[in-house]
Amino acid sequence: MTADGLRQSREAELDRQSRLKNRIACCSVAGCLAGGGDAVRAALAEEVKAQGASAEIEVCGTGCMGLCSRGPLVRSSAGEITYAEVKPGDAAAVVRSDLDSLNGRILRQSDPFFAGQRRLILANSGKVDPEKIAGYIAQGGYQSLLRATSEMTPEEIVAEVKKSKLRGRGGAGYPAGLKWELVARHPSATKYVICNADEGDPGAFMNRSVLEGDPHRVLEGMAIAGRAVGAQQGYIYARGESPLAIERIRTAIDQAQREGLLGGRVFDSDFHFRIDLRIGAGAYVCGEETALIASIEGKRGQPVLRPPYPPESGLWGHPTLINNVETFANIPQIIENGGDWFAGIGAPASPGTKIFAVAGRIRNSGLVEVPIGTSLRTILFEIGGGVPEGYEFKAAQTGGPAGGCIPAQYLDVPMDYDSLTGIGTMMGSGGLIVMDTSSCMVDVARFFMEFCMDESCGKCIPCRAGTVQMNEILGRMTSGEGKEADFAMLEALSGLLVEASLCGLGRAAPNPVLSTLRHFRSEYDAHVRERRCPAGSCRMGASA
């Protein structure tokens, strides 16, 4: 595709959409589909056909609209209205915009859930059909890649990413521009770009939703990265438990290749970049970059000791840039609007927005995108609607099994990398699990430790054996068999895992235990010394 071809494609699709009387977009990602979204979309299409309105009303799929607890969601361009909990029987009312019939299920952009967000990465959700490249192009898609290949040098691209202060959204928060620069400066003629889409944290579905709802944004970000660092081959590593994301990625890659946006001589330039998909078997440890690389190479997914780090020696021994889905999804807008623009959003040391998958004991569960530095209170109570009636907020788990629990006294903490580290937890990839007063914090720690135990690759003894021992201790505590000596043993084992484990899984596995011991020690004391569960929800409480 040429620059003129991209412009003509955009104009043609915008013209087509402008001639429509209404565009009814149905959420077509995993959450709403599980609630019957396919049947709703089919009923809407049938109703439009029955009314003889196919030429003026379009029914299409789109990405996650955020409010998963009220799905299936349908958005009508007529009046910019979103309908919640739509059933096939509502099709006629939606097509007719019969607001009286749908009273109580009408959502507007002024509602707190939507108004409290700043959707940059999720900007196309509700607008773009993820299975059609034309919709992405109509929203300005691939314009940043055009600029990167025709107006900017690789050095200028890297400089813009550095200027943006973008930090990797995979959990560690390492400055993306510095990582890009390391790969770009390496003299090797062969380099690789890898998108880590192996999202395995319990309750996390941010990356999956982006790939299901706006896959071309990620492909464009990867291609720009390839241009910047001098790579000609990219890989997306996704887990097999995300079949819809995999299907959408495959479709998007095929479409981009057909349009000449991937492959050889992108935009008639000297830039060649191909993207292939690799599917993992769902091992949590393959979220660690060296284990991921081993899996792509056809080896067992286990981490290796670093250094050397992937920017120096990664896939098949060549310099490799690895970022996660959300990191690459930020790149097109950085190139479009400039690094200074991006650096002005969010917290000074952690610019941009962050997507959180809010789940658990919360009224409005789903995807929330806010500027980094937004307080936990704002996310959970103003946007999330608070905990269900009859209960009080107790804690929020951030960072998945590698993170920690945030108690109520820290509700006003800014959700940024440094502030969360300061209270004993971490941003992680964006999972945010809410617990109320019915949750037993000892059992929460046991759940995450059991997860880490099951997902340990077994390569190093501290993680392989230590997680088993910690899980057994926590199991005894929640069964009424805990001992006073267990406290010292938990702390000793935690120190061992943190200091001696080979990779981040083992080093971070004690975090939920340490954070709950720090903030909820009284609950541990009640389990061990009084043989009771204050929340009445763990195995001890169930048997009492």
Q: Which CATH number covers residue 205?
A: 3.40.50.11540
pLDDT digits (tens, 9 = 90+) for 318-333: 999 999 999 999 999 9
**Domain presence at residue 72:** yes
Q: Which CATH number covers residue 453?
A: 1.20.1440.230
- 402 strand-pairing partners: none
Residues 459 and 430 in one domain: no
- 82 strand-pairing partners: 75, 107
User: How many CA atoms lie within 13 Å of 353's alpha carbon, on the beta-carbon side?
Assistant: 23
Pairing between β-strand 393-398 and β-strand 404-407 as defined by DSSP bridges: antiparallel
**Domain presence at residue 130:** no
Residues 456 and 418 in one domain: no
Residues 412 and 478 in one domain: no
Residues 466 and 377 in one domain: no
Residues 212 and 310 in one domain: yes
Residues in the chain: 544
pTM of the shown model = 0.95
Nearest to residue 244, comparing CAs of 324, 130, 75?
A: 130
> What span, in angstroms and rounded, lies between the C-alpha atoms of 324 and 474?
33
**Domain presence at residue 4:** no
Q: Show which of 404, 436, 468 is a domain's final residue.
A: 436
Residues 166 and 258 in one domain: yes
**Domain presence at residue 3:** no
Q: Is 97 exposed, middle or buried (0-12, 13-18, 19+ CB in 10 A)?
A: middle
CA-to-CA dists, residue 462 to 177, 395, 473, angstroms:
34, 29, 16
Domain of 232?
A: 140-343
Question: In this structure, what token pair is assigned to residue 395?
Answer: 């804690």
What pLDDT does 105 receive? 95
Residues 297 and 314 in one domain: yes
What pLDDT does 543 receive? 44
Give pLDDT < 50 ranges for the chain.
542-544
CB within 8 Å of 199: residues ≥ 6 apart: 205, 206, 207, 208, 239, 242, 287, 325, 429
Peptide bond into 72 cis (omega under 30): yes
Residues 366 and 407 in one domain: yes
Q: Which CATH number covers residue 407?
A: 3.10.20.600
Nearest to residue 202, comparing CAs of 488, 507, 429, 438?
A: 429
Crossing angle, helix 485-500 and helix 521-529, to 10 degrees? Answer: 130
- Listed as own residue / partner, the contacts of 461-466 with beta carbons closer than 8 Å and 24 or more positions apart are 462/496, 462/497, 462/500, 462/501, 462/502, 462/506, 463/497, 463/501, 463/502, 463/503, 463/505, 463/506, 463/509, 466/493, 466/496, 466/497, 466/501, 466/506, 466/509
**Domain presence at residue 10:** no
Structural domains in the chain (count): 4
**Domain presence at residue 82:** yes
Q: Show which of 111, 128, 152 is a domain's final residue.
A: 111
What pLDDT does 541 receive? 61
Crossing angle, helix 3-18 and helix 143-150, to 10 degrees? Answer: 160
- CB contact burial 255-279 (16+ within 10 A = b; e otherwise): bbeebbbbeeebbeeebebbbeebb
**Domain presence at residue 320:** yes
At 162 the three-state DSSP class reads: helix
DSSP conformational letter for 501: -
What pLDDT does 452 receive? 95
Residues 80 and 151 in one domain: no
CA-to-CA dists, residue 268 to 2, 219, 221, 444, angstroms:
6, 18, 19, 55
Q: Is 387 exposed, middle or buried (0-12, 13-18, 19+ CB in 10 A)?
A: buried
Nearest to residue 119, comparing CAs of 66, 192, 41?
A: 66
Q: Show which of 436, 471, 505 is a domain's final residue.
A: 436
> Do the Cβ atoms of 248 and 254 come closer than 8 Å?
no
Nearest to residue 26, comparing CAs of 136, 129, 115?
A: 129
Q: Cα-Cα-Cα-Cα dihedral of 509, 510, 514, 520, to 10°?
A: 70
Residues 250 and 354 in one domain: no
Residues 148 and 220 in one domain: yes
> What span, in angstroms and rounded, lies between the C-alpha atoms of 494 and 514?
8
Residues 460 and 314 in one domain: no
**Domain presence at residue 417:** yes
